[in-house]
Amino acid sequence: MNRATRTVNVTILILLVTVTASGVLAFAVGSPGPARWITGVHGASGLGLLLLVPAKSAIARRGLRRPGRSRKVIGLTFALLVAIAVGSGLLHALAGFTTVLGLLPMQIHVGSAVGVAVLLAAHLGMHRRRPLLRRTDLDRRRALLGGGIVAGSALLWLVAPGRERRETGSHEIAGPMPVTQWLFDPVPRLTGTRVRTAGGDVDLTGLPQRTVRAVLDCTGGWYSEQEWRGVAVADLALPAGASIDVVSATGYRRRFPAGEAGSLLLATHLAGRRLSAGHGAPVRLVAPGRRGFWWVKWVVAVEVVDEPWWWQPPFPLQ
C-alpha cells in the first residue's frame, strides 16, 4: 500500500471514529452549550467523508480488480452503509421529522451507523498486526492535507442547508407531542398515582403540585416544549443517599444525582390534561436538560441508592 493510499484510509478511519464517538455523545448530552459543539463535530466529520469520496473511489476500484469475493462483498457493504448513514443524516437535516418507509431518518441513520461500526471493528481486527500510522506518514504534506480536510469539513457544516434545529440537532414539533418508545418498551395500562418509596407508597395527589415548562428532546430527532404538572421528587421526603433511581413498571430505570431531586418532576398532567398511556400515565418523570430516554414513563418507584449516578449503562439496553 503506497503512502497516498494509506493517508486517505487513515484519514477516513479518523473521521469514522470521530463521527461515531460524537454521535454517541450527541445522544447523551441535552444541555444546549455542550450539545452545540458535539453536534457540530458530528456533522462536520460526516460531511468530511464526502470530501474523500473521489480519492477513496479510485482506491476502491483498484481493490475490486483484485481476487477475493468475500473481501469485495464486505467492502461494498461497508461503503453502502456509510452512504446510507451520511445520506439519512442529511435527510434528517433537510426534511425534519418525517418518515421513509415507516422509519424516521434518525432511525435509519443510527441503524446504518451501527452496521458501519461493526464492520469497521471487524476490519481492524483482521488487520490488527498492521500499524495504523507509521513515522513516515507524519510529514508536512500530509499534515497540510489533514488540515485541509478539517477546514473543508467545518466549511461544509457551516454552509450546508437544513431546517432550523435545536442545538442537539432535533427539529421542533408543532402541535400534539408524538408518542414514541425506547427500543421495545411495551405500553402498560396502569391506574392510580401511587409511587413506592423507602417510606412506603405515596399518593402524589396528596402532595404539593408544581407546574413547569420543559423541553422533551427525543433521540428520534424531534423536540417539544410543553407544560407539565406534578410533584417534585424533592417533596417525597426521601432518605439521604448518593443517587436516586426512578423505576418504570416495565423494569426500565434511570439513575440521577441526589442533588437533582429539586429539578425532577413526577408528572401526572401534560398541557393541562392527564397523561395518556402512551405518554407515561399515570406518572411520568420530567428531567429538564436531559434527553428523552431519561424521562422515565409509567413510574412506579423512586429508590435511594448508594451507587453513583453514572454507575449505569449510558443508554438503557431494554
- Residue 245 near residue 302 (C-beta atoms within 8 A): yes
Residue type at 159 in one-letter notation: V
- Residue 158 near residue 41 (C-beta atoms within 8 A): no
* Three-state DSSP class for residue 222: strand
The answer, yes or no, to whether the previous bond of 282 is cis (omega within 30 of 0) is: yes
> What is the spatial distance between Cα 241 and Cα 307, in angstroms, rounded to a whole number?
9
Q: Output the DSSP codes for 198-263.
A: TTEEEEGGGS--EEEEEEEEETTTEEEEEEEEEEEGGGG-PPP-SEEEEEETTS-EEEEEGGGTTT
Dihedral over Cα of 64, 70, 75, 76: its sign: positive
pTM greater than 0.85 (yes/no): no
> What is the spatial distance between Cα 304 and Cα 307, in angstroms, rounded to a whole number?
9
* Placement of cell 442537539 in the chain: 168
Q: Output the DSSP codes for 75-91.
A: HHHHHHHHHHHHHHHHH
Residues in the chain, overall count: 318
Q: In this predicted structure, what is the pLDDT of residue 120?
A: 81
pLDDT digits (tens, 9 = 90+) for 281-310: 999 999 999 999 999 999 999 999 999 999
pLDDT digits (tens, 9 = 90+) for 97-144: 788 887 888 889 988 988 988 888 877 666 555 555 555 555 666 667
Q: In this predicted structure, what is the pLDDT of residue 255?
A: 96
- Residue 82 near residue 50 (C-beta atoms within 8 A): no
- Residue 193 near residue 282 (C-beta atoms within 8 A): yes
pLDDT digits (tens, 9 = 90+) for 189-236: 888 899 999 889 999 999 999 999 999 998 888 999 999 999 999 999
Q: In this predicted structure, what is the pLDDT of residue 213?
A: 95
Label the pairing between strands 171-172 and 222-232.
Answer: parallel
> What is the spatial distance between Cα 205 and Cα 227, in angstroms, rounded to a whole number?
18
Q: How confident is the model at residue 265 (pLDDT cuts 50, 70, 90)?
A: very high
Q: In this predicted structure, what is the pLDDT of residue 142?
A: 65
Nearest 10 degrees: Cα torsion 258, 259, 265, 266: 10
Closest CA to 106 of 184, 222, 224: 222
Cα radius of gyration rounded to whole Å, the chain: 23
- Residue 55 near residue 43 (C-beta atoms within 8 A): no
